[in-house]
A and B are shown apart, each in its own frame.
Chain A
Amino acid sequence: GAVVSQHPSWVICKSGTSVKIECRSLDFQATTMFWYRQFPKQSLMLMATSNEGSKATYEQGVEKDKFLINHASLTLSTLTVTSAHPEDSSFYICSARVPGGPNTGELFFGEGSRLTVL
């Protein structure tokens, strides 16, 4: 199957700093990637849909100035948590869909990135 890789897998930062998380599709081109946030023992909450070459589409209640998404190439989307605060601590997961082909509809997930803001 297709491979999606996230980096870093975990990061600790001080309050007020910004953190960038990368999501790469390793063996396919992803025109669309999705960013999820997962709180402990809770479901994945869709934050935004990242579209290559255009602005991301944010879900209701997600601050676009807080969570900057850039999808500059067909294999890379980045999520930047700006001016991070302890309440931003969470597990962030990206996923991508393989356009067309036999796996159409299947989402491939990254390993996730655990952010801890001190």
Chain B
Amino acid sequence: AQRVTQPEKLLSVFKGAPVELKCNYSYSGSPELFWYVQYSRQRLQLLLRHISRESIKGFTADLNKGETSFHLKKPFAQEEDSAMYYCALRTSGTYKYIFGTGTRLKVLA
């Protein structure tokens, strides 16, 4: 079955500390992974996708097929990074998007 797991509901870090939001997936096909972010009172928006291999707002994520993971990392957290982060898997063929339960990141001053 297709599944996306984000083990942490809440992650609190101090400003300037490194951040890692965990995401593991289960999918028998070729996965396409995304990270979406939802800032307070705003709609969900794309943060980054594994295909692009880019860094957005200092965040990076590497797809590890061996560990079936797509963890989101940032070396130095900023207060404006506080938001809800969702890891998502897009299935091939039907283009369904499966979301994890989300991790709320709180960056403390």
Contacts and interface: CB of A to CB of B under 8 A. Distances in A.
Interface in B66-109: 86, 88, 90, 94-102
Interface string A23-56: 0000000001010100001111010010000000
Most-contacted residue by chain A among B90, B95, B98 (CB, 10 A): B95
SS class of chain B's interface: helix, strand, loop or mixed? strand
A105 B51 contact: yes
A44 B95 CA distance: 16
Size bin of chain B's contact surface = 20 to 34
A105 B34 contact: yes
A43 B43 contact: no
A49 B101 CA distance: 20
Contacts of A36: 99
B46 A42 contact: no
Interface string B19-55: 0000000000000101010000001111001010000
Interface residues of A, number: 20
Given A43-B99, A43-B102, A109 B86 contact: no
B44 A105 contact: no
A74 B91 CA distance: 22
A57 B94 CA distance: 10
B37 to A, nearest CB: 11
Nearest to A111: B43
